[in-house]
């Protein structure tokens, strides 16, 4: 007779010992299996071979669910099974079971062929219910972006996950994020990024380490490095797929061809002096047209065009020609006409400066009106953009307008990347001005996340980032405050 009382007692004991935030499935499964075997033995019956094999297989699945999720469910694209198995693991994922399930499900979606819309919606709906979102969930969101073909967004999510606090992002999530980034960088030919990922002291997969060695060989590393590369290749597996790249890196002359983009330079028209009485004005207009026609004008190009116009407008020959033309056309307000021309030039140059991603132009000491206006108006517009973006976060904190965890992370990543880009474009002086707006608006938002919403992994990242920005801006008091907040952990 089966000892159902003993089995019920074992289940009750496991339920009482359940720890909050952990599934305890492996321990539960082991106790249940032992209780069932003990029941069979007490009843004088031995289980048949098929039932024994089946029970052992079920026990193995319950003991190492992450291994089965990663090796079976993910390659087959079984996103639901991958979610449930990975979220039940207590060995690899001791702190983030929900994130583990989301990561495994998103990874499985990435392996699916055909229409992924339903699977993507299922994973996103499950993620939206979880709060707070930790590092594994961030990796999952990055993989979901990759599954939709949005590689730039996926790269941003996975880069952020690799930089989060070690307690927020388990080592398995860091390894997977770095592996995807290394494969993506290798596909784009960015071997510097591949080498950096492979050399990192953070947790990495054997495939990532091998790709790092391949990048070193393609950049001209010595032949002695080939043996360590071969060892990592053997450990990484996937030999049939990676063999062509391995053979290329093994060759004695394995050096990737560097693609050097030609540097375009302004060339003034040769017959400008013959075609006009005011060559300086024509040259300034030609330079402005050349900068406008470029796909991505640099700050130096815009500054050179502004300086050319200042030089032309200040030249005596140009001033004399403008007086003659004003008298010929009956223009009585020559200063107004000159100001209108200057406004038009400044407007065109500002559109070029603000439209690109290069560093903003800087006016040299003693620069003219056009260069000075372009320099300061471009920075003023960029500062307004930063202030408005940060103020939206402060307003949400004041009115307690909470977003779901994935949306909160997405908003934060978008703001952080935008502010970082603005800081790079504006230069040191702009950085000091912009940090005041960042500090005043984002500090209440991060404190709200920590104290009330318990989104501590995200708040921790915000405090760390603001401490770095304060250091770059030279604000020691703000740096000390944010370092103290970040030291609270997650």
Cα(292)–Cα(356) distance, integer angstroms: 11
Please check whether residues 466 and 407 belong to one and the same domain: yes
Please check whether residues 329 and 412 belong to one and the same domain: no
How many other CB atoms are there within 10 angstroms of residue 267's CB atom? 8
pLDDT at res. 165: 78
Question: Of 324, 358, 392, at which residue does a domain stop?
Answer: 358
pLDDT at res. 52: 62
Please check whether residues 462 and 387 belong to one and the same domain: yes
Whether residue 79 lies inside any domain: the answer is no
Cα(156)–Cα(161) distance, integer angstroms: 9
Whether residue 305 lies inside any domain: the answer is yes
pLDDT at res. 36: 60
Whether residue 463 lies inside any domain: the answer is yes
Phi-psi region of 237 (alpha: psi -120 to 50; beta: other; left: phi over 0): left
Please check whether residues 344 and 284 belong to one and the same domain: yes
Question: Of 13, 29, 62, at which residue does a domain stop?
Answer: 62
pLDDT at res. 331: 79
Mean pLDDT split into 10-residue runs, the chain, 490 residues:
40 39 50 58 61 65 82 92 87 83 94 90 89 89 93 91 81 93 93 92 90 89 81 91 90 61 61 60 78 76 85 84 81 83 87 79 78 88 93 94 91 92 88 92 95 92 94 93 89
Please check whether residues 347 and 304 belong to one and the same domain: yes
Structure tokens at 426: 């504006």
Please check whether residues 315 and 392 belong to one and the same domain: no
Whether residue 147 lies inside any domain: the answer is no
Please check whether residues 385 and 475 belong to one and the same domain: yes
pLDDT at res. 481: 94
CB-based burial, 215-253: b 16+ in 10 Å, e otherwise: bbbbeebeeeebeebeebbeebeeeeebeebbeebbeee
- Tokens 């290394």 belong to 182
Closest to 29 (Cα-Cα) out of 56, 67, 1, 66: 56
Dihedral angle, C-alpha 78, 80, 86, 89, nearest 10 ° = -130
Whether residue 420 lies inside any domain: the answer is yes
Please check whether residues 352 and 423 belong to one and the same domain: no
Q: Is the pTM of this model over 0.85?
A: no
Please check whether residues 344 and 293 belong to one and the same domain: yes
Whether residue 261 lies inside any domain: the answer is no
Whether residue 183 lies inside any domain: the answer is no
- Give the Å distances, CA to CA, from 189 to 126, 155, 241, 299, 467: 35, 15, 18, 27, 34
Tally of domains in the chain: 3
DSSP code of 71? Answer: I
Please check whether residues 388 and 353 belong to one and the same domain: no
pLDDT at res. 17: 40
Query: Please, which residues have CB within 8 angstroms of residue 23's CB and are 6 or more apart in sequence?
Result: 87, 88, 89, 90, 97
Dihedral angle, C-alpha 275, 279, 281, 284, nearest 10 ° = 100
Whether residue 109 lies inside any domain: the answer is no
Burial group, residue 146, by CB count within 10 angstroms (0-12, 13-18, 19+): buried
Dihedral angle, C-alpha 289, 292, 296, 298, nearest 10 ° = 70
Cα(220)–Cα(328) distance, integer angstroms: 68
Structure tokens at 431: 């950085």
Please check whether residues 285 and 352 belong to one and the same domain: yes
Please check whether residues 480 and 396 belong to one and the same domain: yes
pLDDT at res. 271: 59
Is residue 377 a contact partner of residue 384, using CB atoms and an 8 Å limit? no
Structural domain including 352 reads 272-358
DSSP code of 30? Answer: H
Cα(31)–Cα(77) distance, integer angstroms: 31
């Amino acid at each position: 007779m089966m000892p159902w009382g003993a089995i019920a007692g074992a289940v009750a004991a496991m339920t009482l010992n359940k720890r909050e935030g952990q599934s305890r499935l492996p321990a539960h499964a082991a106790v249940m299996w032992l209780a069932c075997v003990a029941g069979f033995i007490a009843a004088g019956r031995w289980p048949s071979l098929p039932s024994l094999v089946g029970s052992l297989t079920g026990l193995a699945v319950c003991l190492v669910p992450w291994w089965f999720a990663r090796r079976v469910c993910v390659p087959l694209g079984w996103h639901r099974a991958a979610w449930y198995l990975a979220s039940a693991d207590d060995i690899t994922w001791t702190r983030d079971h929900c994130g583990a399930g989301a990561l495994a499900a998103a990874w499985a979606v990435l392996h699916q062929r055909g229409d992924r819309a339903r699977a993507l919606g299922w994973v996103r709906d499950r993620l939206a219910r979880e709060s707070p979102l930790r590092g594994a969930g961030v990796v999952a969101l990055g993989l979901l972006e990759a599954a939709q073909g949005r590689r730039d967004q996926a790269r941003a999510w996975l880069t952020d996950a690799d930089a989060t606090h070690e307690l927020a992002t388990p080592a398995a999530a860091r390894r997977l994020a770095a592996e995807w980034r290394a494969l993506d960088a290798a596909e784009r030919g960015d071997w510097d990024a591949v080498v950096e990922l492979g050399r990192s002291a953070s947790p990495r997969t054997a495939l990532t380490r091998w790709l790092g060695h391949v990048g070193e060989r393609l950049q001209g590393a010595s032949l002695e490095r080939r043996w360590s590369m071969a060892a990592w290749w053997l450990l990484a597996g996937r030999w049939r797929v990676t063999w062509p790249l391995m053979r290329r890196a093994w060759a004695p002359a394995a050096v990737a061809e560097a693609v050097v983009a030609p540097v375009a330079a302004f060339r003034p028209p040769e017959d400008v002096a013959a075609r006009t009485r005011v060559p300086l004005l024509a040259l300034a207009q030609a330079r402005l047209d050349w900068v406008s026609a470029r796909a991505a004008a640099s700050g130096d190009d815009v500054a050179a065009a502004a300086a050319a116009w200042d030089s032309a407008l200040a030249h005596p020959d140009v001033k004399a020609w403008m007086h003659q033309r004003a008298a010929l056309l009956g223009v009585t307000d020559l200063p107004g006409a000159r100001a209108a021309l200057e406004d038009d030039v400044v407007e065109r140059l500002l559109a070029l400066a603000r439209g690109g991603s290069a560093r903003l132009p800087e006016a040299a000491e003693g620069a003219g009106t056009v260069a000075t206006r372009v320099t300061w108006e471009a920075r003023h517009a960029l500062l307004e953009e930063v202030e408005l973006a940060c103020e939206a976060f402060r307003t949400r904190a004041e009115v307690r307008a909470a977003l779901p965890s994935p949306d909160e992370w997405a908003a934060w990543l978008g703001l952080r990347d935008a502010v970082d880009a603005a800081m790079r474009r504006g230069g040191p002086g702009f950085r000091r001005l912009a940090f005041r707006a960042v500090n005043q608006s984002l500090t209440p938002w991060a404190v709200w996340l920590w104290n009330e919403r318990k989104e501590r992994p995200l708040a921790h990242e915000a405090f760390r980032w603001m401490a770095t920005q304060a250091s770059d801006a030279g604000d020691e008091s703000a740096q000390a405050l944010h370092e103290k907040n970040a030291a609270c952990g997650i």
